[in-house]
Amino acid sequence: MKSFIFLLIALILSAIPAQAFPVVEWSVASGGNGHFYELIETPKPWHDARLDALAKSHAGQSGDLATVTSAEENEFIALNLLASVSFNDAWIGGFQPAGSPEPGGNWQWVTGEPWDFQNWDVFEPNNIGGIEDALWMFTNYNPSGYFGLWNDAPSSFERPYIVEYAPEPVTGLLCFLALTFPCRTLSRRTSRFFTSESINEMESDPVE
């Protein structure tokens, strides 16, 4: 009888949908980039999270794992997506290709944007175990006060993740013809060359 009750409770809990987090915009009017961001609570390994993010779109903008290229963007994501959650960390779009100098060499964004900003926690990255090649951001739920800081972790770990929705690049000629201000800020996705093929290359890292 007791086992039946436990089974019934488990079935009821499994039928409850995961909490839906709203898509939030970092508006140009507030000093942002006009992109949208979404927290996906369902945990996935980094590679699967990336593929899922690439398959998403919102308001005509294409998805990818979030690339955090300034202190302002880091603060926006932390405060608007990670301040009131019940887990410790979430994947973002940073990774370290196989064969990179360890622990801190050749970190990259999935979009190919310059790695000009970083917000590592103290003593990070440290490549513990020789297999930490993907990037997550700590949430406010973490009891150690790491909120908004970064950590390198094995890409096989399953974590929630942050999707950033941004327009595809617009060519300089089209921007010139359009003669509109948004052309200068339409997209910072300078490249989408990190496709499923490059993800497979990352997965073939011999240390994993």
Looking at residue 96, its pLDDT comes to 96
pLDDT tens per residue across span 6-46: 344 434 434 444 456 889 999 999 999 999 999 999 999 99
DSSP structure class, residue 193: -
β-strand pairing of 132-138 with 57-58: unpaired
Percentage of the chain exceeding pLDDT 90: 63
Q: For the residues 65-74, what does the mean pLDDT come to? A: 97
Domains and CATH numbers, the chain: 22-203 (3.10.100.10)
Residue 87 sits at the vertex; the CA angle it makes with 136 and 208, to the nearest 5 degrees, is 40
pLDDT tens per residue across span 114-170: 999 999 999 999 999 999 999 999 998 867 778 999 999 999 999 999 999 999 765
For residues 205 and 130, the answer to whether their CB atoms sit within 8 Å is no
d(CA 97, CA 110): 11
**Cβ neighbourhood burial of 37 (10 Å; 0-12, 13-18, 19+):** buried
Q: How confident is the model at residue 202 (pLDDT cuts 50, 70, 90)?
A: low
3-state secondary structure of 54: helix
Indicate the residue type of 72: E
